[in-house]
Amino acid sequence: MAFFIWKDEFSVKVGQLDEQHKRLFSMLSDVYEKMMEYKGKESIASVLSGIVSYTMTHLADEERLMQTYGYPEYAAHKLAHDNLKAQVQDYLDREQRGERVDLIDVALFLKNWLFSHIAEVDKRYASFFNAQGLN
């Protein structure tokens, strides 16, 4: 069951980045599904490892494109990515130290971050990239 359905309103008008965002949505749906049957025995890292590593790949790809095309808001955008990475790392570190980390918290955090980041931060590069011929 897909918990998160991609809609055109999420489009950032750059095909390759839309495809990555779609994949993140579908991975997030899988995490939610897994969360429903989570028995608390696996580590959050193992449950989230796929989406965490693909998120990092995606952020790096976005940053590379912004740098290649000289996106003027690169620094602020990179800062938003770095904040996310620090928060994800913090969850993983806390679990590593033996603290109880709620998988639902982590999944909800990722979902909320992704939705608002696409809507408020990623969409800002759409017209810039399109003007550079990147669609």
Positions in the binding site for Fe ion (CB under 5 A): 62, 122
For residue 24 the two structure tokens come to 């993140």
Cα four-point dihedral sign 104, 10, 79, 14: positive
Instruction: Give the nearer residue to Fe ion in terms of CB position, either 42 or 82.
Output: 82
3-state helix, strand, coil in the chain (%, to 5): 75, 0, 25
User: Encoding tokens for residue 11?
Assistant: 């489009």
Q: For residues 21 and 105, what is the distance between their CA atoms, to the nearest angstrom?
A: 21
CB of 83 to Fe ion, least distance (A): 11
Q: How far is the CB of 21 from Fe ion (least distance, A)?
A: 9
Which of residues 70 and 98 has its CB atom nearest to Fe ion in the complex? 70
Of the pair 24, 122, the CB lying nearest Fe ion is at 122
Least separation in angstroms between CB 69 and Fe ion: 14
CA torsion angle 86 61 80 77 (round to 10): 150
Query: Please, what is the minimum distance in Å from the beta carbon of residue 97 to Fe ion?
Result: 29
Query: Which of residues 122 and 129 has its CB atom nearest to Fe ion in the complex?
Result: 122
